[in-house]
Amino acid sequence: MNNIKGLIFDVFGTLVDWRTSIAREARTQLSTLGIEVDWLAFADAWRDQYQPAMEEVRSGRIPFATLDRLHRRNLDVVLAKSGLDQVDEYTRAALSLAWHRLDAWPDVAEGLRQLRRKFWLAPCSNGNISLMVDLARRNGFLWDAILGAEVARAYKPQAIVYLSAAAAFDLAPQQTMMVAAHSSDLAAAAAAGLRTAFIARADEYGPNTGETSAGVPVDVSAGSLLELAGLLDSEAGNPPISQNTADAQR
């Protein structure tokens, strides 16, 4: 573990509570139009379009498009399926950016602060750079870089997304740890040669619906980023990253 220099993070579900945040944002935008629906179900329906839209890019059926563009297209699909075609263009444009206004889980800001004492940190998300910037500013995330899909011009779980993040830090894959609440994400990162850390987010899809333990082999499992910081501190024994800069760039 003492060879790890950089941590990269899944964001949706691992760092931020997308479900209740999107439900709140949808209610804020649509209730002014006299629309009342099950807002959590609306959030779930929008999220259900996430993987199919990215798969169109991964398969080559459409050129690479940022997640903002895919979220907007997905929103139109959900509104149509929900019989809400009356929603005007201005409201659609505003609501499509709801993903920029998600709230973090309570442990995240302080957990990142503690982890940053010893490691370089960056998101490795399917979200585009402007989305990651807005979430960081909203929630007090301190990043050393913003990496992920837009940098790689590909979507997880394609190996290039993880490998390009490690390369951006001038690190070998085995010097880089992927942190996520989703076993599939961690399995793909491990297959690309990265180390992996699982974070339990039991309530991601509602009470007691998220993963509470990793379904694949991982290097570390923790119940929060604060716990992860303690585990890595005790296992790695690394000095602060400022003292590791020369090693990390070799």
Q: How does residue 17 score in pLDDT terms, banded at 50, 70 and 90?
A: very high
Helix (H, G, I), strand (E, B) or coil at 120: strand
- The domain boundary, picked from 101, 136, 170, lies at 101
- Whether residue 142 is predicted with pLDDT greater than 80 in this model: the reply is yes
Is 86 in the same domain as 210? no
- The domain boundary, picked from 53, 82, 101, lies at 101
Is 88 in the same domain as 156? no
For 176, other C-beta atoms within 10 Å of its C-beta total 30
Residue 1 covered by a domain: no
Is 25 in the same domain as 12? no
Total structural domains within the chain: 2
- Whether residue 237 is predicted with pLDDT greater than 60 in this model: the reply is no
Are residues 179 and 141 in contact, defined by beta-carbon separation less than 8 angstroms? Answer: no
Is 179 in the same domain as 202? yes
Tokens 């941590």 belong to residue: 7
Tell me the C-alpha distance between 21 and 24, whole Å: 5
Is 133 in the same domain as 221? yes
Tell me the C-alpha distance between 132 and 5, whole Å: 22
Is 12 in the same domain as 38? no
Task: Give CB contacts under 8 A, 24+ apart, made by 94-99.
Answer: 94/29, 95/25, 95/26, 95/29, 95/30, 96/68, 96/71, 96/72, 97/68, 98/21, 98/22, 98/25, 98/26, 98/29, 99/18, 99/22, 99/67, 99/68, 99/71, 99/127, 99/131
Is 208 in the same domain as 87? no
Residues 219-230, mean pLDDT to the nearest whole number? 97
Residues 5-16, mean pLDDT to the nearest whole number? 98
What whole-number percentage of the chain has pLDDT above 90? 92
When the pLDDT of each residue in the chain is averaged and rounded to a whole number, the result is: 94
Tell me the C-alpha distance between 67 and 11, whole Å: 13
Is 232 in the same domain as 149? yes
* pLDDT, tens digit (0-9, with 9 covering 90-100), for 166-186: 999 999 999 999 999 999 999
State the pLDDT at residue 88: 96
Tell me the C-alpha distance between 241 and 236, whole Å: 12
- The domain boundary, picked from 101, 135, 164, lies at 101
State the pLDDT at residue 39: 98
- Whether residue 1 is predicted with pLDDT greater than 90 in this model: the reply is no
Is 122 in the same domain as 241? yes
State the pLDDT at residue 236: 56
Residues 73-80, mean pLDDT to the nearest whole number? 98
Q: 112 lies in which domain range?
A: 6-16+104-248
Tell me the C-alpha distance between 196 and 180, whole Å: 8
Q: Which residue has the higher pLDDT, 60 or 246?
A: 60
Is 22 in the same domain as 64? yes
- Whether residue 240 is predicted with pLDDT greater than 70 in this model: the reply is no
Taking alpha carbons only, the member of 130, 171, 166, 126 closest to residue 148 is 126
> Can you read off the two tokens belonging to residue 39?
């807002």
- Whether residue 250 is predicted with pLDDT greater than 70 in this model: the reply is no
- Whether residue 238 is predicted with pLDDT greater than 60 in this model: the reply is no
Is 39 in the same domain as 76? yes
Is 112 in the same domain as 97? no
Taking alpha carbons only, the member of 107, 149, 104, 95 closest to residue 124 is 149
pTM over 0.85, yes/no: yes
Q: Average the pLDDT over each of 92-96, 122-126, 245-249 and give the range with the smallest value.
A: 245-249
Residues 64-89, mean pLDDT to the nearest whole number? 97
Residues 79-95, mean pLDDT to the nearest whole number? 96
Tell me the C-alpha distance between 32 and 16, whole Å: 26
Region of residue 198 (phi > 0: left; psi between -120 and 50: alpha; otherwise: beta): beta
**CATH number of the domain where residue 214 is located:** 3.40.50.1000
Backbone torsions φ then ψ of 227, nearest 5 degrees: -65, -40
Tokens 């929103």 belong to residue: 75
Residues 71-77, mean pLDDT to the nearest whole number? 98
